[in-house]
Amino acid sequence: MGSARSASRRRVWNVLKLLFLVIVLVAAGNALYPAWRAAHPDPSDLTIRHRTEPTAVVPVAKPWLEVINSSKKAIPLNEVTLRYYFTADGGVPYGFNCVEAAVGCANIDGTIVALANPSDKADHYLELSFTAGAGSLQPGVNSKGIQLQLYRLDHQDLNQADDRSFEPANTSFKPAKLVTAYIAGKLAWGDQPADSTAASGQPAAAANPKPAAPAGIAFDNFHYSGATDPALVKHGWRIRTSKGGPGVADTWSAAGVSFPAEPTAQGGQTLQLRASTDGTKQGTTQAQVDNADTDFLTGTYAARIFFSDQPSSGQPGDHINQSFYTISSNDSLYSELDNEYMPNGGWGSPGPVLDTTSWYSAKNGDRVTRRHNASLQGWHTIVITAVKGVATYSLDGKELFSSNGKYFPRQTMGVNFNTWFVDLPFKGQRSWDMKINWFYYNANQAMSQADVEKTVADYYSSGTNYINTVPKS
């Protein structure tokens, strides 16, 4: 009997020892799990790769990014946002642009955000987001390279050496933990700074998917780093250097085209066209930027333009022409919708005057026009609508003129901005500046100025610099 009790006690003791061992192991496991988990995280749904040029001090930073779907499910890109962290040199504003992307730069938006608590390596980040037009990444698929630009709006050199996300060793694409990625606002890749909260009033990581831009839309706010910016050409714009008129023939030059910071402009940057002369043809340069790559025809054209009544330097009085117009290349079906502002008049007529003109034939001078005598010094919004056989010109929401019949556009046109001298009435060095804040086109409908400006304001707030969804003919 005593032997049975001893055996029973041994069994109970063995059970207690086993239970104690289990408790110890569980406690040890709980204590060690966080460290193990940190060393063995779940695979990321995204992998971000980065490459760059290794030089730290440059006029323009040129990061390239790739987004790779590391998960086993498709990921809509309009749920993805990326953050590239940097330090803004000199306390000046920065600009951003997309140069090239397989998903289309028109489907990529970028917003520069100030951090609430900056560090030595980051006081801002560039946040990229995608519209639905960028599509989805299937498992294992790479977005391919997205070529970006960051530059100072004062166009001085910047130093990337203290930029958190700048990794000069990445001269080919490599995984980049210092660039972060989010899916629907949740961190999916990378190491955030200790405090990556946006400063008050700035946007945080986007959580709402972005819709695709409608077909038939073109928009550009001219956020380019300079006249030689490759994005300018890729977005369809051309700086004229060819011969011919109007104005002082054969004096078109890229020298007068720039993209300066402008505090009075929406978004803080403009396209500036400068015409300069000393009173001789040899000493004259005129400036023009045009877009003939897009098939513009009917719908709404709009631009916010700064017209000058006085030269930026030198004596006043020139017969200077500051123009925004659409024009076709085929003389047999010639089409042109023209706005020309001349603060001092021209061709024997006094100024200041805005001419609005619809053309049927440039060769025969067949056109209808209306003159509006008023000073336009400063910023103004010009809208042209061409729908249902009627072309209507408006200035600051007020209708100025309309034309119809044979003066309605018959074929696709390019969009042009230029500033040029009607003639050279006197000697002496002087320069005239025209500035363009943004251009907008909607092929689908006639829009009021209020609707255009609301649409443009939405683009600025979402970080949209460029869109072109106009179908090619």
Domain boundaries, the chain: 46-189, 217-468
Whether the full predicted model's pTM is greater than 0.75, yes or no, is: yes
Residue 405: count other Cβ atoms within 10 Å of its Cβ. Answer: 10
- At residue 119 the predicted structure's pLDDT band, cuts being 50, 70 and 90, is confident
Q: What is the pLDDT of residue 241?
A: 97
Tokens of 271: 């396209």
Distance of CA 61 to the CA centre of its chain: 16
DSSP alpha helices (H): ranges in 293-413?
A: none
pLDDT higher than 80, residue 16: no
pLDDT higher than 70, residue 203: no
For residue range 329-380, list pLDDT tens digits in order: 888 899 999 999 999 999 988 999 999 999 999 999 999 999 999 999 999 9
Q: For the residues 457-467, what does the mean pLDDT come to?
A: 95
- Separation between Cα atoms, residue 82 and residue 75, nearest integer Å: 14
Q: What is the pLDDT of residue 166?
A: 97
- Fold (topology level) of 217-468: Jelly Rolls (2.60.120)
Q: Does 350 sit behind a cis peptide bond, omega within 30 degrees of 0 on the bond before it?
A: no
- DSSP E strands in 308-352: the ranges are 320-327, 336-342
Per the CB < 8 A criterion, the answer to whether 401 and 371 are in contact is no
Q: Choose among 58, 64, 171, 173: nearest CA to 108.
A: 64
pLDDT higher than 60, residue 215: yes
pLDDT higher than 90, residue 97: yes
Q: Choose among 163, 150, 157: nearest CA to 229.
A: 150
Q: Choose among 418, 100, 11, 60: nearest CA to 254.
A: 418
For residue range 151-198, list pLDDT tens digits in order: 999 999 999 999 999 999 999 999 999 999 999 999 999 999 976 666
- At residue 1 the predicted structure's pLDDT band, cuts being 50, 70 and 90, is low
Q: What is the pLDDT of residue 49?
A: 97
Q: What DSSP designation does 457 have?
A: H
Cα distances from 404 to residues 113, 397, 407, in angstroms, run 47, 20, 5
Distance of CA 425 to the CA centre of its chain: 40
- Separation between Cα atoms, residue 407 and residue 384, nearest integer Å: 14
Q: Based on the number of CB atoms within 10 Å of its own CB, is 93 exposed (0-12), middle (13-18) or buried (19 or more)?
A: middle
27-51: buried (b, 16+ CB within 10 Å) or exposed (e) per residue? eeeeeeeeeeeeeeeeebbbbbbbb
Query: How wide is the angle at C-alpha 234 spanned by C-alphas 231 and 239, nearest 5°?
Result: 80
Q: For the residues 93-117, what does the mean pLDDT come to?
A: 94
Residue 206 identity: A
Phi and psi angles of residue 226, each rounded to the nearest 5 degrees, phi first: 170, 180
- At residue 208 the predicted structure's pLDDT band, cuts being 50, 70 and 90, is confident
Residue 344: count other Cβ atoms within 10 Å of its Cβ. Answer: 18
Q: Choose among 341, 361, 359, 360: nearest CA to 351.
A: 341
Q: Based on the number of CB atoms within 10 Å of its own CB, is 471 exposed (0-12), middle (13-18) or buried (19 or more)?
A: exposed
pLDDT higher than 50, residue 108: yes
Q: Based on the number of CB atoms within 10 Å of its own CB, is 182 exposed (0-12), middle (13-18) or buried (19 or more)?
A: buried
- Separation between Cα atoms, residue 65 and residue 308, nearest integer Å: 41
Distance of CA 455 to the CA centre of its chain: 15
pLDDT higher than 90, residue 18: no
pLDDT higher than 50, residue 38: no
- Write down the CATH number for the domain with range 46-189: 2.60.40.710
357 by DSSP, 3-state: which? strand
Phi and psi angles of residue 23, each rounded to the nearest 5 degrees, phi first: -60, -45
301 by DSSP, 3-state: which? strand
Q: Which residues, 6+ apart, have CB-to-CB distance to 360 below 8 Å?
A: 334, 366, 367, 406, 407
- Separation between Cα atoms, residue 317 and residue 332, nearest integer Å: 38
Q: What is the pLDDT of residue 33?
A: 45
Give the H/E segment covering residue 366: strand 366-372
Q: What is the pLDDT of residue 395?
A: 98
Q: What is the pLDDT of residue 332?
A: 87
For residue range 51-87, list pLDDT tens digits in order: 999 999 999 999 999 999 999 999 999 999 999 999 9
- At residue 411 the predicted structure's pLDDT band, cuts being 50, 70 and 90, is very high
- Separation between Cα atoms, residue 143 and residue 137, nearest integer Å: 7
Residue 394: count other Cβ atoms within 10 Å of its Cβ. Answer: 20
